[in-house]
Chain A
Amino acid sequence: MSLHVDAGQPTRAPVPPGRRHVRRNSPRSFRTWLDLKAAPYLLVSPYYLLFLLFGLFPLGFTLYYSFYKYDLTGTVEWTGLGNYTAMLADSAFWKAVVNTLGMFVIATVPQMLLALLLANALNKRFRGQLLVRMGVLLPLVTSVVAVAVVFTQLYGRDWGVINWILSWFGVDPIDWKAQRIPSWLAIATMVDWRWTGYNAIIFLAGMQTIPKDLYEAASIDGASRRRQFWQITVPMLRPTMIFVVLNSTIGGLTLFAEPTTFYNGNVHGGTDSQFQTVSMFIFEEGFREFDYGYASAAAWLLFLLILIGSLINFLLIRRIGGNK
C-alpha cells in the first residue's frame, strides 16, 4: 500500500562499521521507529479492526436500535426505554429466561462433575493414554447440527430409541418435545455429550500443573486417594475451574443450535416455547417478526444476564476449598 520505506536504500548499502550515532530525521530513524513502535501495532491490528467491525460496532448498533421501534419492513421510530419496559412485562421473554437457566443448570452441573472425574481418571498412567485423551475430544469435532439431528431421532416420541428402552421398564412414551422438563433434559444431554470431553481436557491440563510433592506428602501423612482428590486436586484447580465455569456460563446462556435443530429448525422452541432459549427469542423477534428494536433490547438483557450469571459463578467457585 502506501508504506514506501525503502527509498534511497541502495546508496547506503555498505554500512560503515562502528557507527556510533544515528542521525535524526533520516529515513533510517523512520524505519527504526516503524520497526520498534509501529510494526507491533500493525501486526495486531487485523484482529482489532475485525473486532471493531464485527464486535464493537454491532454492540453499539444494537444498543442504539434497542431504543427504537424498528420494523425491517416498515418504520423506525424512537421509543426510549419502551422496548425494555415492554420486555420486562412480556411473559414470552421470561419463559425464555427460565428455559435458558433451567437448561443451563441441568446441563452444566453434571457436566462439571463428570468432566472433573473424567480428567482425574485420564490423569493416571495407563496404556494408550494419548489415544484415550484424544478420543475424549472427538464429540467436539462433530458438527453441532449433526449431533442435534441424531439426538432428535433418539428422543423421538413414536420411534425413538430412548422411549423404546424406557418401555422395557414399563414407562409410557414420553413426548420429549411437548413436555417442558423432558425437553430440557434432552437438550442438556446434547450439550453435555459435546462439551464434557472438552472441559475434561482443560481440567486435565490444570491437574498436570499441580506439584507432585503435594500428593507425596499427603500419601506419607496417610491421606486416601479420594481425600487427595477433594483436598488437593480440587482446590489447586480453582483457577482452571473459574475459566471453565465462566466459559460454560457464556456458552450455556447463549444456547441456540441444539434446541433450534431439536424443533425442525424452528426458533419457536416447541409448540408452546417449551425449550425456547433467550437467543432463540432474540432470533424470533428479530428475524421472524422483524422487530429489530425489540430483539436488540432482548440481546442487551441477555448480555446483562450473562454478566450476572458469570459473576455469581465466579463468586461461588472462588469459595471452593479457599476458606481456610
Chain B
Amino acid sequence: MIGNSRRGRMLAIAAASALALSVISACSTDDGGSSSTPSDGGSSAAAEKVTITLQTFGGGKNFGFKEAVDKWNAEHTDIQIKYDNLTDQFEQTYWPQMIQWLQSGAGAGDVVGIEEGGMGLAKAHPEWWADLGEFGLNNHQANFPAWKWENGVTVDGKLFALGTDVGGMSLCYRKDLFEKAGLPSDREEVGKLWPTWDDFVKVGHQFQAKVKDTKFVDGTNTLYNVVLVQEAAKNGNVAYFDKDNKLIVDSNPAVKTAYDFAEKISKEGLTAKLRNFTDEWKTGMKKSQFATLGCPAWMLGVVSGDDAAGPEFAGKWDVAAVPGGGGNWGGSWLAVPKQSKHPKEAAQVLEYLTGKEGQVSVFNYSGNLPSNVQAQQDPAVQGAKNEYFNDAPVGDIFVKSAGALQPVFLGVKHAQVKNAVESVVSAIDDGSVPYAEGWKRLVDDAVKAAG
C-alpha cells in the first residue's frame, strides 16, 4: 500500500508539472524574441547596449544600407543595428507579414522599410507607429521634397516615416549583346535609338533578327510598370485609385496604355516570359536570357546583387535614357513601429539612415537614388559613376532629374490590387490567359482584390 500511495503522489506531481509546463510554454510564445533588457532608454540605463533591428525587403542590394550600417556599428558601442532584409517580395510576402505584426503588436523590428505601395495603408493607421516628432525629427522637413515628406505624415498629422529613395527612371541594357546584334552600344547613341516606345519595339525586332538565344526584354511586368508610371504622370498622377480611394483601373487611360504595351511586346515575341523578381528571372540574368530591363534607380542594386546578375557581369550592363521620358516607380520610407521597445534609439538610427551621410553611402553602394535633398546635392553623388554599369554617370542620369519627379497617388489597397493586376500581366505572357481575355481579367481581378 505504501508503494501504491507513493506512486499515486508521484503521478499527481507529474501531472501537475506537466500541466504547469504546458501553461508556461503556451504563455512564453507571447513575449518570445524580445530582448532581455527591459530598459526604456532612460538616462540611467544609457550604458546598456541596445540592439535596433532594421527590417527591409528587396532583391540584390535592397535598401543598400550595408556599408552605412557597418560604419554605424563600428562607431557606436551603445546602439548596434541588426540589418535584416526579410525577403525580395514586398506585396506578396513582406507587407502582409508586416501588417500582421503591426496589428498584433509583436514581431516587427525597431525600424522598418515600407514601399510606396504600402504607404496609403500605413498612413491610415497612426496607431501602428511611433511619433517621430517626439524625437525631434520634424526639423528635417526642408531636406525632403514636399510630397515625399507629406506621405510620411499620418492621417491625424503626425510624422511617422522619412523617405529613403525615389524611383527615377532609365533603361538598363547589355552592352555586349547590343554589339553582337550590330546595334550601337554607346549609352548616348542607345538612348537616341528609342525616343518613343514604338522605336523601342522596332529596335527590339532588329535585335531579335540577329540574336536568337536572348530575348530583348525580360517579360511583360517590368516595362508594364515603367509605362504605367510615365502615363500616370500624364493622367493626373493616379494609377489604380483616384484620390478618393475609388478604384479606377477600368477608366484610367494610363492603365490601359501600359497594359496594351505589355500585350504588344509579348505578342511580338520580344519577351523571355520571365516574371520580375522570381528565381527564374534572376537565373535569366545569369544565363543572359534578356538584353534590356526597365531600370528605376533602385533596380541597379537589384541587377548587380549576387543573387541576380552578380559580379561576373560587371561592366557588361550599361544605363541609357528610357523611352517616353522620366517616371517615378518605387521608392520607400523608414518608420518606427509603436511596439518598438527602444523608440528613441530607433529614431536616431532612422535619422542617420535617411540623413545625408546614410543616403550618400546608400547611393554609392547600391545606386538607390536618395530622396534627401542634401544627399542629392552632395558633389560625390552628383558626379557619381556606377562601376558595375560600365562607369555610367548615374549622378547625371538620375540625380539631375530627381527634383522633377512627381509622386503617383497610391490608394490604401494599392498593394493588393497591384499584386492581382501583375499576375494577369504575367499570365498573358506565359500563355495561361489568352490575349483576348487579358484586359477583362485584369479589371475583374482588380475589382475583386479591392473589394
Question: Does chain A bind chain B?
Answer: yes
Question: Which residues of A does B touch, CB under 8 Å?
Answer: 1, 3, 5-6, 15, 19, 28, 31-32, 34-35, 38-39, 42-43, 45-46, 49-50, 53, 72-73, 92, 152, 156-159, 175, 177-180, 264-268, 270-272, 274, 287-290
Q: What are 17 residue pairs bridging A and B, where the CB atoms are less than 8 Å apart in the complex?
A: A15-B2, A31-B8, A35-B4, A46-B22, A50-B22, A72-B99, A72-B103, A92-B448, A157-B273, A158-B280, A179-B431, A264-B89, A268-B423, A270-B432, A271-B424, A288-B96, A288-B416
B212 at the interface (CB under 8 A from A): no
* Complex interface residues of chain B between 199 and 253 (CB less than 8 A to chain A): none
CB-contact partner of B15 in A32, A42, A267, A274, under 8 A: A42
Q: Which residues of A contact B20 (CB under 8 A)?
A: 1
Would B448 and A35 count as touching, CB distance under 8 A? no
Would A31 and B9 count as touching, CB distance under 8 A? yes
- The majority secondary structure among interface residues of chain A is loop
B76 at the interface (CB under 8 A from A): no
Q: Which residues of B contact A156 (CB under 8 A)?
A: 280, 283
* Complex interface residues of chain B between 86 and 127 (CB less than 8 A to chain A): 89, 92-93, 96, 99-100, 103, 121, 124-125
Known interface pairs A158-B287, A158-B289; A175-B12 also in contact (CB < 8 Å): no
Q: Which residues of A contact B289 (CB under 8 A)?
A: 158
CB-contact partner of A35 in B7, B416, B433, under 8 A: B7
B198 at the interface (CB under 8 A from A): no
B5 at the interface (CB under 8 A from A): yes
Would A290 and B99 count as touching, CB distance under 8 A? yes
Q: How far is the CA of A156 from the CA of B287 in the complex (A)?
A: 13
Known interface pairs A15-B2, A31-B5; A45-B96 also in contact (CB < 8 Å): no
* Complex interface residues of chain B between 260 and 283 (CB less than 8 A to chain A): 273, 275, 278-280, 283
Would A5 and B9 count as touching, CB distance under 8 A? yes
Q: Which residues of A contact B103 (CB under 8 A)?
A: 72-73
Q: How far is the CA of A38 from the CA of B9 in the complex (A)?
A: 11
**Nearest Cβ distance between residue B112 and chain A, in whole angstroms?**
16
Interface size class of B (residues with CB under 8 A): 35 or more
Q: Which residues of B contact A177 (CB under 8 A)?
A: 430
Would B22 and A73 count as touching, CB distance under 8 A? no
Would A175 and B431 count as touching, CB distance under 8 A? yes
Q: Which residues of A contact B100 (CB under 8 A)?
A: 72, 287
* Complex interface residues of chain B between 121 and 171 (CB less than 8 A to chain A): 121, 124-125
Q: How far is the CA of A237 from the CA of B100 in the complex (A)?
A: 48
B348 at the interface (CB under 8 A from A): no
**Nearest Cβ distance between residue A271 and chain B, in whole angstroms?**
4
Q: Which residues of B contact A179 (CB under 8 A)?
A: 431-432
Q: Which residues of A contact B89 (CB under 8 A)?
A: 264-266
**Nearest Cβ distance between residue B298 and chain A, in whole angstroms?**
20
B16 at the interface (CB under 8 A from A): yes
Q: Which residues of B contact A72 (CB under 8 A)?
A: 99-100, 103
Q: How far is the CA of A178 from the CA of B430 in the complex (A)?
A: 6
Q: Which residues of A contact B448 (CB under 8 A)?
A: 92
**Nearest Cβ distance between residue A252 and chain B, in whole angstroms?**
23
* Complex interface residues of chain B between 3 and 38 (CB less than 8 A to chain A): 4-5, 7-9, 11-16, 18-22, 26
Max chain A Cβ within 10 angstroms of own Cβ: one of B1, B89, B96, B424: B96
Q: Which residues of A contact B5 (CB under 8 A)?
A: 28, 31-32, 35
Q: How far is the CA of A31 from the CA of B93 in the complex (A)?
A: 55
Known interface pairs A42-B19, A72-B99; A6-B9 also in contact (CB < 8 Å): yes
**Nearest Cβ distance between residue B105 and chain A, in whole angstroms?**
13
Would A266 and B92 count as touching, CB distance under 8 A? yes
CB-contact partner of B419 in A49, A264, A288, A290, under 8 A: A288
Q: Can you name the residue of chain B whose Cβ is closest to the Cβ of A91?
A: B444
Q: Which residues of A contact B423 (CB under 8 A)?
A: 268, 271-272
Q: How far is the CA of A288 from the CA of B96 in the complex (A)?
A: 6
Would B433 and A271 count as touching, CB distance under 8 A? yes
Q: How far is the CA of A46 from the CA of B273 in the complex (A)?
A: 53
Q: How far is the CA of A270 from the CA of B275 in the complex (A)?
A: 11
Q: Which residues of B contact A266 (CB under 8 A)?
A: 89, 92-93
- Given contact pairs A35-B4, A49-B22, A271-B432, a sample of 15 additional A-B residue pairs in the complex whose CB atoms are under 8 Å apart: A50-B22, A73-B103, A156-B283, A175-B431, A264-B89, A264-B278, A265-B89, A266-B92, A268-B92, A271-B426, A271-B427, A272-B432, A287-B100, A288-B92, A288-B96
B314 at the interface (CB under 8 A from A): no
Would A287 and B278 count as touching, CB distance under 8 A? no
Closest 10 CB pairs of A and B: A35-B8, A42-B15, A271-B427, A178-B430, A272-B432, A272-B427, A271-B426, A39-B11, A1-B16, A46-B22
CB-contact partner of A39 in B15, B280, B427, B432, under 8 A: B15
Max chain A Cβ within 10 angstroms of own Cβ: one of B9, B287, B419: B9
Would B1 and A264 count as touching, CB distance under 8 A? no
B285 at the interface (CB under 8 A from A): no
Would B16 and A43 count as touching, CB distance under 8 A? no
Q: Can you name the residue of chain A whose Cβ is closest to the Cβ of B277?
A: A264
CB-contact partner of A5 in B12, B18, B21, under 8 A: B12
Q: Can you name the residue of chain A whose Cβ is closest to the Cβ of B91?
A: A288
Q: Which residues of A contact B280 (CB under 8 A)?
A: 156-158
Q: Can you name the residue of chain B whose Cβ is closest to the Cβ of A36?
A: B8
**Nearest Cβ distance between residue B389 and chain A, in whole angstroms?**
25
B405 at the interface (CB under 8 A from A): no
CB-contact partner of B11 in A6, A43, A264, A268, under 8 A: A43
Q: How far is the CA of A35 from the CA of B8 in the complex (A)?
A: 5
Q: Which residues of B contact A35 (CB under 8 A)?
A: 4-5, 7-8, 11-12
Q: Which residues of B contact A53 (CB under 8 A)?
A: 26
Would B8 and A271 count as touching, CB distance under 8 A? no
Q: Which residues of B contact A15 (CB under 8 A)?
A: 1-2
Q: Can you name the residue of chain A whose Cβ is closest to the Cβ of B18?
A: A46
Q: Which residues of B contact A159 (CB under 8 A)?
A: 283, 287
Max chain A Cβ within 10 angstroms of own Cβ: one of B21, B287, B427: B427
Q: Can you name the residue of chain B whose Cβ is closest to the Cβ of A53?
A: B26
Q: Can you name the residue of chain B whose Cβ is closest to the Cβ of A27?
A: B5
**Nearest Cβ distance between residue A104 and chain B, in whole angstroms?**
21
Q: How far is the CA of A53 from the CA of B13 in the complex (A)?
A: 23
Max chain B Cβ within 10 angstroms of own Cβ: one of A19, A39, A50: A39
**Nearest Cβ distance between residue A258 and chain B, in whole angstroms?**
16
Would A43 and B15 count as touching, CB distance under 8 A? yes
Q: Which residues of A contact B416 (CB under 8 A)?
A: 288-289
Max chain A Cβ within 10 angstroms of own Cβ: one of B419, B431, B432: B432
Q: How far is the CA of A32 from the CA of B4 in the complex (A)?
A: 9
Q: How far is the CA of A73 from the CA of B122 in the complex (A)?
A: 10
Q: How far is the CA of A177 from the CA of B219 in the complex (A)?
A: 15
**Nearest Cβ distance between residue B224 and chain A, in whole angstroms?**
13
